[in-house]
Amino acid sequence: GAGVSQSPSNKVTEKGKDVELRCDPISGHTALYWYRQSLGQGLEFLIYFQGNSAPDKSGLPSDRFSAERTGGSVSTLTIQRTQQEDSAVYLCASSPTSGGYGYTFGSGTRLTVV
Amino acid sequence: DQQVKQNSPSLSVQEGRISILNCDYTNSMFDYFLWYKKYPAEGPTFLISISSIKDKNEDGRFTVFLNKSAKHLSLHIVPSQPGDSAVYFCAANTYSGGGADGLTFGKGTHLIIQP
Protein backbone atom coordinates (compact mmCIF):
# COMPACT_ATOMS: atom_id res chain seq x y z
CA GLY A 1 0.00 0.00 0.00
CA ALA A 2 0.91 3.63 -0.23
CA GLY A 3 1.01 4.29 3.48
CA VAL A 4 1.80 2.65 6.80
CA SER A 5 -0.96 0.23 7.70
CA GLN A 6 -1.76 -0.76 11.28
CA SER A 7 -4.18 -3.39 12.49
CA PRO A 8 -6.45 -3.65 14.27
CA SER A 9 -7.54 -0.01 14.42
CA ASN A 10 -9.26 -0.65 17.73
CA LYS A 11 -8.77 -3.40 20.27
CA VAL A 12 -10.59 -3.95 23.55
CA THR A 13 -9.12 -6.66 25.72
CA GLU A 14 -9.53 -7.97 29.22
CA LYS A 15 -6.85 -7.34 31.78
CA GLY A 16 -4.36 -10.19 31.83
CA LYS A 17 -4.83 -11.20 28.19
CA ASP A 18 -2.09 -10.97 25.55
CA VAL A 19 -2.47 -8.74 22.49
CA GLU A 20 -0.63 -8.45 19.19
CA LEU A 21 -0.52 -5.25 17.21
CA ARG A 22 0.60 -5.27 13.60
CA CYS A 23 2.39 -2.69 11.49
CA ASP A 24 2.89 -2.92 7.75
CA PRO A 25 5.39 -0.22 6.75
CA ILE A 26 5.84 1.48 3.41
CA SER A 27 7.57 -0.87 1.01
CA GLY A 28 11.32 -0.24 0.98
CA HIS A 29 11.43 1.67 4.24
CA THR A 30 14.25 0.19 6.29
CA ALA A 31 13.54 1.94 9.56
CA LEU A 32 10.46 1.22 11.65
CA TYR A 33 9.46 2.83 14.95
CA TRP A 34 6.80 2.09 17.54
CA TYR A 35 5.43 4.88 19.72
CA ARG A 36 2.51 5.07 22.07
CA GLN A 37 0.34 7.96 23.14
CA SER A 38 -1.40 7.65 26.45
CA LEU A 39 -4.23 10.01 27.36
CA GLY A 40 -2.92 13.53 27.80
CA GLN A 41 0.64 12.53 27.00
CA GLY A 42 2.98 13.03 24.08
CA LEU A 43 4.35 10.36 21.81
CA GLU A 44 6.44 7.96 23.86
CA PHE A 45 9.18 6.11 21.97
CA LEU A 46 9.04 2.34 22.44
CA ILE A 47 11.37 0.60 19.99
CA TYR A 48 13.23 1.13 16.73
CA PHE A 49 14.07 -1.40 14.01
CA GLN A 50 16.70 -1.03 11.32
CA GLY A 51 15.93 -3.89 8.98
CA ASN A 52 15.13 -6.87 11.20
CA SER A 53 17.32 -5.87 14.11
CA ALA A 54 16.29 -3.66 16.98
CA PRO A 55 19.28 -1.54 18.00
CA ASP A 56 17.20 0.44 20.44
CA LYS A 57 14.68 -1.22 22.74
CA SER A 58 15.19 1.29 25.50
CA GLY A 59 11.66 2.60 25.41
CA LEU A 60 9.86 -0.66 26.10
CA PRO A 61 8.12 -0.02 29.44
CA SER A 62 8.44 -3.52 30.85
CA ASP A 63 9.37 -7.09 29.95
CA ARG A 64 5.69 -7.68 29.11
CA PHE A 65 6.36 -5.74 25.91
CA SER A 66 8.20 -7.27 22.97
CA ALA A 67 8.42 -6.61 19.27
CA GLU A 68 9.76 -8.31 16.22
CA ARG A 69 10.17 -7.55 12.59
CA THR A 70 10.54 -10.23 9.95
CA GLY A 71 11.80 -9.94 6.41
CA GLY A 72 12.59 -6.30 6.99
CA SER A 73 8.92 -5.52 6.60
CA VAL A 74 5.96 -6.29 8.87
CA SER A 75 6.40 -5.74 12.60
CA THR A 76 4.32 -7.00 15.50
CA LEU A 77 4.24 -5.49 18.96
CA THR A 78 3.15 -7.97 21.60
CA ILE A 79 1.93 -7.04 25.05
CA GLN A 80 1.60 -9.94 27.47
CA ARG A 81 -0.66 -9.97 30.50
CA THR A 82 -2.12 -6.58 29.64
CA GLN A 83 -2.73 -4.04 32.39
CA GLN A 84 -5.07 -1.07 32.42
CA GLU A 85 -2.13 1.33 32.19
CA ASP A 86 -1.31 -0.22 28.80
CA SER A 87 -4.40 1.49 27.38
CA ALA A 88 -3.15 3.94 24.76
CA VAL A 89 -2.91 4.57 21.04
CA TYR A 90 0.02 2.61 19.63
CA LEU A 91 1.54 4.30 16.58
CA CYS A 92 3.94 2.83 14.07
CA ALA A 93 6.10 4.89 11.74
CA SER A 94 8.49 3.97 8.98
CA SER A 95 11.16 5.92 7.15
CA PRO A 96 13.52 5.26 4.25
CA THR A 97 16.57 5.53 6.51
CA SER A 98 17.30 5.82 10.18
CA GLY A 99 17.59 9.23 11.70
CA GLY A 100 14.02 10.29 12.16
CA TYR A 101 13.62 11.89 8.77
CA GLY A 102 10.76 11.29 6.46
CA TYR A 103 8.71 9.53 9.11
CA THR A 104 5.34 8.34 7.87
CA PHE A 105 2.97 7.33 10.63
CA GLY A 106 0.14 4.84 10.51
CA SER A 107 -3.26 5.72 11.95
CA GLY A 108 -2.53 3.77 15.10
CA THR A 109 -4.19 1.04 17.14
CA ARG A 110 -6.33 2.22 20.02
CA LEU A 111 -5.92 -0.35 22.78
CA THR A 112 -8.34 -0.39 25.68
CA VAL A 113 -7.72 -2.76 28.55
CA VAL A 114 -10.82 -3.35 30.68
CA ASP B 1 12.59 14.13 32.44
CA GLN B 2 11.02 15.70 29.38
CA GLN B 3 13.61 16.73 26.83
CA VAL B 4 11.07 18.40 24.55
CA LYS B 5 8.45 20.57 26.22
CA GLN B 6 5.31 22.14 24.86
CA ASN B 7 3.97 24.07 27.79
CA SER B 8 0.65 25.08 26.27
CA PRO B 9 -1.75 22.11 26.08
CA SER B 10 -4.14 24.19 24.01
CA LEU B 11 -4.33 27.44 22.07
CA SER B 12 -7.33 29.23 20.62
CA VAL B 13 -6.85 31.66 17.72
CA GLN B 14 -9.27 33.56 15.56
CA GLU B 15 -9.42 32.64 11.87
CA GLY B 16 -7.16 34.88 9.81
CA ARG B 17 -4.88 35.74 12.71
CA ILE B 18 -1.41 34.38 13.44
CA SER B 19 -1.02 31.17 15.45
CA ILE B 20 2.23 30.81 17.39
CA LEU B 21 3.06 27.44 18.91
CA ASN B 22 6.06 27.20 21.19
CA CYS B 23 8.48 24.44 22.04
CA ASP B 24 11.47 24.26 24.38
CA TYR B 25 14.15 21.60 24.59
CA THR B 26 16.80 20.71 27.11
CA ASN B 27 19.16 18.39 25.23
CA SER B 28 21.91 20.48 23.63
CA MET B 29 22.76 17.52 21.34
CA PHE B 30 19.52 18.01 19.42
CA ASP B 31 20.26 19.55 16.06
CA TYR B 32 17.24 18.77 13.95
CA PHE B 33 13.70 19.81 14.78
CA LEU B 34 10.37 18.92 13.27
CA TRP B 35 6.71 19.81 13.65
CA TYR B 36 3.96 17.25 13.13
CA LYS B 37 0.23 17.82 12.86
CA LYS B 38 -2.32 15.30 14.06
CA TYR B 39 -6.04 15.08 13.43
CA PRO B 40 -8.24 12.82 15.59
CA ALA B 41 -8.07 9.12 14.67
CA GLU B 42 -5.18 9.73 12.26
CA GLY B 43 -1.44 9.37 12.60
CA PRO B 44 0.73 12.48 12.87
CA THR B 45 1.83 13.97 9.55
CA PHE B 46 5.04 15.85 8.92
CA LEU B 47 4.61 19.60 8.58
CA ILE B 48 7.96 21.39 8.56
CA SER B 49 11.49 20.95 9.87
CA ILE B 50 14.61 22.97 10.60
CA SER B 51 18.22 22.05 11.18
CA SER B 52 20.36 23.82 13.73
CA ILE B 53 22.43 25.55 11.07
CA LYS B 54 19.40 27.71 10.28
CA ASP B 55 17.28 30.01 12.38
CA LYS B 56 14.25 30.12 10.11
CA ASN B 57 12.52 27.89 7.62
CA GLU B 58 9.43 28.91 5.70
CA ASP B 59 6.92 26.84 3.75
CA GLY B 60 3.83 28.67 2.59
CA ARG B 61 1.78 29.74 5.60
CA PHE B 62 4.10 27.89 7.99
CA THR B 63 7.36 29.25 9.38
CA VAL B 64 9.53 27.65 12.02
CA PHE B 65 11.97 29.77 14.02
CA LEU B 66 14.86 28.33 16.00
CA ASN B 67 16.70 30.11 18.81
CA LYS B 68 19.55 27.77 19.74
CA SER B 69 20.90 29.87 22.57
CA ALA B 70 17.49 29.81 24.25
CA LYS B 71 16.82 26.20 23.18
CA HIS B 72 13.49 27.37 21.86
CA LEU B 73 11.60 26.96 18.65
CA SER B 74 8.26 28.20 17.48
CA LEU B 75 5.85 27.47 14.67
CA HIS B 76 4.00 30.40 13.11
CA ILE B 77 0.91 29.85 11.01
CA VAL B 78 -0.37 32.88 9.16
CA PRO B 79 -3.13 33.35 8.29
CA SER B 80 -4.75 30.67 10.43
CA GLN B 81 -7.49 28.65 8.75
CA PRO B 82 -10.18 26.34 10.19
CA GLY B 83 -8.40 23.29 8.74
CA ASP B 84 -5.40 24.11 10.91
CA SER B 85 -7.33 22.98 13.99
CA ALA B 86 -5.36 19.94 15.15
CA VAL B 87 -2.80 18.83 17.69
CA TYR B 88 0.72 19.99 16.86
CA PHE B 89 3.72 18.03 18.09
CA CYS B 90 7.24 19.38 18.30
CA ALA B 91 9.98 16.76 17.81
CA ALA B 92 13.77 16.74 17.94
CA ASN B 93 16.63 14.51 16.89
CA THR B 94 20.40 14.38 16.66
CA TYR B 95 21.20 14.57 12.95
CA SER B 96 24.91 14.35 13.38
CA GLY B 97 24.55 11.23 15.47
CA GLY B 98 22.49 9.49 12.85
CA GLY B 99 19.40 9.84 14.99
CA ALA B 100 19.06 6.11 15.29
CA ASP B 101 17.27 6.49 18.56
CA GLY B 102 14.29 8.07 16.90
CA LEU B 103 12.52 11.33 17.43
CA THR B 104 11.76 12.76 20.86
CA PHE B 105 8.31 14.32 20.92
CA GLY B 106 6.65 16.92 23.09
CA LYS B 107 3.18 16.40 24.55
CA GLY B 108 1.52 18.44 21.85
CA THR B 109 -0.53 21.62 21.66
CA HIS B 110 -4.16 21.48 20.61
CA LEU B 111 -4.73 24.41 18.27
CA ILE B 112 -8.32 25.55 17.86
CA ILE B 113 -9.12 28.05 15.12
CA GLN B 114 -12.25 30.04 15.92
CA PRO B 115 -14.39 31.26 13.01
Count the neighbouring beta carbons within 10 Å of the beta carbon of residue A55. Answer: 13
Q: Which stretch of A99-103, A108-112, B38-42 has the lowest confidence by average pLDDT?
A: A99-103
CA A62 to chain CA mean position, Å: 14
pLDDT average, residue stretch B36-64: 93
Instruction: Give me the pLDDT at residue A4, please.
Output: 95
The string of pLDDT tens digits covering residues A19-74 is: 999 999 999 888 899 999 998 788 888 998 888 888 777 789 999 999 999 888 99
Among candidates A33, A99, A106 on the partner chain, residue whose Cβ is nearest the Cβ of B98: A99
The radius of gyration of chain A from alpha carbons, rounded to an integer in Å, stands at 13
| More confident of the two residues A2 and A86 | A86
The larger pLDDT score, comparing residue A99 to residue B36, is at: B36
Q: Does B109 touch chain A (CB under 8 A)?
A: no
pLDDT tier for residue A101 given thresholds of 50, 70 and 90: low
| Inter-chain contacts counted by CB atoms under 8 A, chains A and B | 72
Q: What is the pLDDT of residue A1?
A: 55
B43: left (phi over 0), alpha (psi -120 to 50) or beta: beta
What distances in angstroms separate CA B14 from CA B59, B101, B114, one per listed residue? 21, 38, 5
Q: Do A43 and B105 touch (CB under 8 A)?
A: yes
Q: Is residue B70 left, alpha or beta, with left meaning phi > 0 and alpha meaning psi from -120 to 50?
A: alpha
Report the pLDDT value the prediction gives residue A84, as an integer from 0 to 100: 96
List the domain boundaries for chain A. Answer: 5-100
Between chains, do B91 and A100 touch, taking CB under 8 Å as contact?
yes
Nearest chain B alpha carbon to A41: B107
Pairwise pLDDT comparison (A31 vs A79), residue with the higher score: A79
Residue B104's pLDDT is what? Answer: 87
To the question of domain B4-114 being in CATH 3.10.20.30, the answer is no
pLDDT at B101 over 60: no
Residue A18 has φ and ψ, to the nearest 5°, of -95, 145
Asked if residue B1 has pLDDT above 90, the reply is no
Q: Where are the domains of chain B?
A: 4-114
Q: What is the mean pLDDT of residues A74-101?
A: 89
Digit-coded pLDDT (tens) for B51-88: 899 999 999 999 999 999 999 999 999 999 999 999 99
Which pLDDT value is given to residue B98?
47
Cβ <8 Å between A91 and B103: no
What is the model's pLDDT at position A100?
55
Q: Which fold has domain A5-100?
A: Immunoglobulin-like (2.60.40)
Residues of chain B neighbouring A50 (CB-CB closer than 8 A): 100
pLDDT of residue B99: 46
Q: What percent of chain B has pLDDT over 70?
A: 94
Q: Which of B103, B105, B110 to mutate to test the interface with A (most CBs of A within 10 A)?
A: B103
B34 touching chain A per CB within 8 A? yes
Percent of chain A exceeding pLDDT 70 equals 95
Chain A neighbours among B 35-54 (CB < 8 Å)? 36, 41-46, 49
Average pLDDT (A107-112) is: 96
